[in-house]
Amino acid sequence: MAARLSLVLRLALTFFTALAAAAQEPLIQTPGYRVGQAIPVSCLNRTVDTGEHITDESGQLSYIPFFTCNETGRPLELLFGVEKDINCTLDFIDDPAFHLLEFYVHNDAPLTCRIPTKPLPPSALKEEFEQGTKDDTDGQGALSEVYTPMIVALTGTLQLSHLHVSTSLNVLVHAAPKSVAPGTIAAATAYSITREPPTRIVIGDSLPLRFSVRWYPNTSLPSGWTGVGGHLTFSTVVYCLISAGASAAICLAYFRGIELPRRLKSHGKDRLGGMERGGLGGYGIANGNGNGSYGGYGVGKRD
């Protein structure tokens, strides 16, 4: 009986020791982005004939790197947490690229892109840049879970012989709160804006894309609306009315308390001085001799 109890105690001690050691081991987590770290952009591969997405033999979607930027010689990259304007000029729009632009601009097929939610391993990053990746949706490893969608809404007008493309785009990227998942991307989107007239494109031209990138430290989008015209708001109107009323009150108080008494005093002195000068035989009132005023200038000695 004692031997059996000793065995049970040893087994229990071994179990709790192993459990405590396991609890002390840190969990292995994928590290997040550092500020300024490059983020590759890849897009869904589509056919130039119909704009349909391309899949492999197993039915998985195929993603390829974004168009190569002439400025860097590499596909488009974002920098984590860095707000800047990125110029990405597509040096030569060949026939396949022109037809893809037709699909994107005419909204027949979206420019569906994605960015890694967290940094990719070196091997996966190399594959991302060189030959693209596949969308693993079989639940075994779930490659799609480590990517954040970024739909690029490229707008313009489609003509018979050419395209007009709005080449200025806003890129909005939300990072997960630092306290929850530091260095992690939560959401992203991009869309054309009408900052200047659209660029006319024909086969063989270059396409200068300009991305204005803005980052947000959480999933909330701050309000930037400031009213009609960017200045006229209800608070502005109230402020103007209060300022006008205060100014009028100050002016009225100054006039009634300082300026009006000063004018009345000055006016009273003028009237009093006039009475002293002309009240008793003043100017223009002759005496008995036809000369000056009573007792005034021009009164000579009488014989």
Q: Give the pair of three-digit tokens for residue 39.
A: 């983020």
Among 169, 144, 119, 123, smallest CA distance to 63 is for: 144
Domain that holds residue 95: 30-216
**Coil, helix or strand at residue 118:** coil
Q: Which of 195, 216, 237 is the last residue of a domain?
A: 216
Is residue 67 located within the same domain as residue 111?
Answer: yes
Is residue 42 located within the same domain as residue 164?
Answer: yes
d(CA 55, CA 135): 9
Which one-letter amino acid corresponds to residue 69?
C
Q: Which residue has the tokens 């015209």?
A: 229
Q: Which of 182, 216, 250 is the last residue of a domain?
A: 216
Asked if residue 199 belongs to a domain, the reply is: yes
d(CA 214, CA 40): 16
Asked if residue 279 belongs to a domain, the reply is: no
Is residue 58 located within the same domain as residue 206?
Answer: yes
User: What is the chain's pLDDT, residue by residue, as a tens digit (303 residues)?
Assistant: 565 556 545 655 555 455 445 444 333 467 899 999 999 999 999 998 888 989 888 888 999 999 999 999 999 999 999 999 999 999 999 999 999 999 999 888 889 999 999 998 876 666 655 555 666 544 444 455 689 999 999 999 988 889 999 999 999 999 999 998 999 999 999 999 987 889 999 999 999 999 999 999 999 888 877 665 555 566 667 777 888 888 888 887 877 778 778 877 777 666 666 655 555 444 444 444 545 444 444 444 444
Is residue 158 located within the same domain as residue 229?
Answer: no
Is residue 198 located within the same domain as residue 242?
Answer: no
Q: State the sign of the Cα–Cα–Cα–Cα dihedral 50, 56, 59, 65.
A: negative
Asked if residue 259 belongs to a domain, the reply is: yes
Q: Which residue has the tokens 């205060």?
A: 246
d(CA 248, CA 250): 6
* First-residue to last-residue Cα distance in the chain: 168
Q: What is the pTM of this model?
A: 0.63
What's the domain count of the chain? 2
